């Protein structure tokens, strides 16, 4: 199976988000490339990362009163729940759901990054620029 990789089309110009998005793709690629014996371990790492990654973005949106926060946070919650469900099933010996998700997650992540994350990154760049601008 071809593994997912970060590409320059996913670049948002807000380094904290770009760093997290690169990390997400690294973890996804690891899970996709993992043999069954290593799937639980790599999937667990992906779930741990996604939990922090999504939680960080949710906290920024909450702090900044960001307009589309509800939809963005909901998408995070749905995907994180699916990832956790895949982990439970893999831990119980059924790797198929996680494998299926691994195959589809790259496309979801690209869409998410280029739409919802991109809007948040633009907002965060503006907020940071206005806070660092001379009075």
Residue 121's nearest CA partner among 79, 71, 64, 76 is 64
Nearer to Fe ion, 43 or 109 (CB): 109
Distance CA 113, CA 18 (A): 9
Nearer to Fe ion, 42 or 113 (CB): 113
Nearer to Fe ion, 66 or 90 (CB): 66
- Shortest distance in whole angstroms from residue 124 CB to Fe ion: 11
- Shortest distance in whole angstroms from residue 98 CB to Fe ion: 20
Residue nearest to Fe ion (CB): 117
CA dihedral angle for residue 92, residue 93, residue 99, residue 100, rounded to 10 degrees:
-60
Nearer to Fe ion, 24 or 40 (CB): 24
- Shortest distance in whole angstroms from residue 37 CB to Fe ion: 29
Binding site for Fe ion (CB under 5 A): 57, 117
- Shortest distance in whole angstroms from residue 96 CB to Fe ion: 27
Taking phi first (over 0 means left), then psi (-120 to 50 degrees means alpha), and beta for anything else, what does residue 93 get?
left
Nearer to Fe ion, 30 or 57 (CB): 57
Query: CB–CB of 12/118 below 8 Å?
Result: yes
- Shortest distance in whole angstroms from residue 72 CB to Fe ion: 6
Q: How many CB atoms lie within 10 A of CB 41?
A: 12
Distance CA 23, CA 20 (A): 5
């Amino acid at each position: 199976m071809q593994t997912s990789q970060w590409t320059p089309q996913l670049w948002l110009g807000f380094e904290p988000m770009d760093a997290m998005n690169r990390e997400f793709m690294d973890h996804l690629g690891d899970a996709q490339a993992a043999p069954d014996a290593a799937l639980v371990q790599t999937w667990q790492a992906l779930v741990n990362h996604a939990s922090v990654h999504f939680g960080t973005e949710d906290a920024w949106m909450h702090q900044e009163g960001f307009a589309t926060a509800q939809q963005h946070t909901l998408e995070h919650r749905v995907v994180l729940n699916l990832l956790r469900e895949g982990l439970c099933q893999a831990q119980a010996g059924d790797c198929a759901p996680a494998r299926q998700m691994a195959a589809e997650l790259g496309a979801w992540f690209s869409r998410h990054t280029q739409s919802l994350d991109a809007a948040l990154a633009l907002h965060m760049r503006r907020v940071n620029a206005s806070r660092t601008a001379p009075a």
